[in-house]
Amino acid sequence: MGADSKAGQGGESLLFLTDEQLRKGIEAMFFAYRAFTADPDRILENYDYGRAHHRAIHFIHRQPGLTVNALLGTLGVTKQSLNRVLRTLVDDGLVEARVGRRDKRERNLFLTEKGALLERELSDAQRARMRAAYRAAGPAAVAGFRQVLEAMMDPDIRRQYQAIKDGAA
């Protein structure tokens, strides 16, 4: 049964969402994101890091050997901003930048043992929150949530996401 023939909670048709229904969804995303980032933010404060550090650590963990240019594309930040974040992570012993095997101009990024420990602490906090929410919502809601998030992505970003998701173990 397609979305056009299904009724949502309270009998609301998914095809004809009102501005009020959309506003409620937008506000729910704002508050959910705030909660989703609260635990890692508290952990990051201990290191004097911000969310940019967290995102870099996350994607370096997901793709060991990721190049600086690939990380730039994934994060969608300026080179100057990423260099500042990477310099801190390297100086603090969380990330190692190795010269590329094929192209000596490239820098491949790897988490150190210390970086992997911080990544685990950050992701454990977020996984616990996601796991609890997924269990409360149920399998159909989990699949629908992921479908909505993917549909919100611009095509280029969706391709990046798909490549990371497909390359994941």
Residues 56-98: tens digit of each pLDDT: 999 999 999 999 999 999 999 999 999 999 999 999 999 999 9
Query: According to the model, what pLDDT value does residue 5 have?
Result: 39
What CATH number belongs to 39-126?
Answer: 1.10.10.10
Query: Would you place residue 169 in the very low, low, confident or very high pLDDT band (cuts 50, 70, 90)?
Result: very low
- The Cα–Cα gap between 82 and 88 comes to 10
Contacts of 101 (CB under 8 A, 6+ apart): 108
- Average the pLDDT over each of 10-19, 86-95, 112-121 and give the range with the smallest value: 10-19
Query: Would you place residue 7 in the very low, low, confident or very high pLDDT band (cuts 50, 70, 90)?
Result: very low
Q: Any idea where the domains of the chain sit in the sequence?
A: 39-126
User: For 93, left (φ over 0), alpha (ψ -120 to 50), or beta?
Assistant: left
Residue 34 backbone phi and psi in degrees, to 5:
-60, -45
Q: Does the pLDDT at position 4 exceed 50?
A: no
